[in-house]
Copies of this chain bind each other. A is one copy, B any other.
Amino acid sequence: MKNNNCIVAQSGGPTAAINASLAGVIDAAIKSKTFDTIYGSINGIQGVLQHKIISLNETFENDDDAIHTLMTSPAMYLGSCRYKLPNTEENPAQYQFIFETFQQMNIHAFFYIGGNDSMDTVDKLSQYAKNIDYDINIIGIPKTIDNDLMETDHTPGFGSAAKFVATSMLEISHDTYIYDIESVTIVEIMGRDAGWLTASAALARNSYSHAPDLIYLPEKDFSTFSFINDLNILLKKNKNVIVAVSEGVHDSNGNYISASRAAADKFGHAQLSGTGKALEQLVQSTIGCKVRSIELNVLQRSAMHISSLTDINESFQLGKEAIKAAEMGLSSIMLTLNRESNNPYKISIGNVPVSEVANVAKPVPIEWINEAGNDVTKEMLQYLRPLIEGEPHIRYKNGIPDYLSIKHLI
């Protein structure tokens, strides 16, 4: 088969593992007999629309070292976008342009690595291709630190974010325990409306530390009254209470605790305060002990240096499987990770129609949250534990990690 090419792109928020999936796609495409050239689209589907497309063969052919460095580089080597394709009837010209480009470049397979918004793009392009009878295999490869994709046991990128959260929680507890004074520490964790990543803070618990002592997920309504009550009970027993709270917690009316507040700052402008900061002020005004809030922020999705080997390996494997799936003629699917057994931990790779995944989010099952709504159950811990196992080999240069970045390209 001559001149049968493929293209890969990345989309949505970054993770430590999304380049491992890209490395898997590139590695398998280069080794495959089916594809001649593997192209990369810069900044997701926008790269196709703006014709920012590069060949990836030269950089990665016969270079296992480059593949390994890509596997262990955070965020997106090809850049990202937050662009959602319009419906076909709204902007047919955009779809025509995309598929004319594909035809000109002999592209017959498209791999999109992303979250549930990105799966919407996979879905729409698949339907359009079918309608115009264009021969292409369109495969979605999941990723998100939020772990909120349907139909997959977990998502690539989540395990690494969970390992960063658990490690940071453990190190914060060390920082907290050294002083012989009463204190409350509130750690705000990402995950939007899903509590998976916040729950993973519980993996920090060990023989000497129960931190986080309290865990609040957005799947249960948050009550400031219960929160202060929980703290007061614990402060009677422990000097230091450490809390893990999801950025997305909300009260029973659905109002986020981090809601915007018209605060007159020194520059005279309103400010949006985080959940942790809002709760810090609440503790200060009601309990009055030493209190500190910590927002783990974007480090959760980019801290490659403390990533999970399990996560990186699975993400790489999914990338390779995507090439196989295209070669087998599959399309309009998202690959999935299925847990075959927990002890020993064993995963198989499957797939589902992408329409079942696009635009839907998977919350934490309510039965994995304790009745008081301030902790997770042992089922949650059993589910989480294998996902953070193992440490990949990160190469350092001059004392900092040696990564590949989109900045190499642009």
Contacts and interface: CB of A to CB of B under 8 A. Distances in A.
A163 B172 CA distance: 18
Contacts of A79: 177-180
Contacts of A403: 170, 174
A285 interface: yes
A211 B115 CA distance: 28
Between A295, A399, A400, the greatest number of chain B beta carbons within 10 A of the residue's beta carbon is seen for A399
Nearest to A174: B75
A42 to B, nearest CB: 8
Contact of A175 (B75, B170, B179): B75
Nearest to A269: B285
A211 to B, nearest CB: 9
A388 interface: yes
Contacts of A355: none
B178 A400 contact: no
What is the total number of copies of this protein in its complex? Answer: 2
Contact of A178 (B80, B175, B285, B398): B80
Interface in A187-237: 203-204, 206, 208-209
A203 to B, nearest CB: 6
Interface stretch (A23-31, A134-142, A148-156, A302-310): A302-310
A399 B163 contact: yes
B267 A302 contact: no
Interface in A258-292: 259, 261-269, 271, 273, 277-278, 281-282, 284-285, 292
A253 interface: no
Contacts of A306: 305-306
B277 A271 contact: yes
Contact of A298 (B175, B263, B308): B175
A14 interface: yes
B177 A407 contact: yes
Contacts of A266: 259, 261, 278
Interface size class, chain A: 35 or more
A371 B80 CA distance: 37
A171 to B, nearest CB: 4
19 contacts: A10-B178, A43-B179, A75-B174, A79-B179, A79-B180, A80-B179, A167-B400, A170-B403, A171-B302, A172-B298, A203-B400, A267-B281, A269-B281, A269-B284, A271-B281, A294-B297, A294-B298, A295-B295, A385-B398
Interface of A: 10, 14, 43, 46, 73-76, 79-82, 163, 166-168, 170-175, 177-180, 203-204, 206, 208-209, 259, 261-269, 271, 273, 277-278, 281-282, 284-285, 292, 294-295, 297-299, 301-306, 308, 385, 388-391, 396-401, 403, 405-408
* CB-based closest 10 A-B pairs: A263-B263, A388-B399, A75-B174, A208-B407, A171-B302, A80-B178, A175-B302, A76-B178, A269-B285, A175-B298
Given A172-B299, A308-B399, 12 more contacts: A43-B180, A73-B174, A81-B180, A173-B407, A174-B403, A178-B406, A206-B397, A269-B285, A305-B305, A385-B399, A388-B400, A390-B399
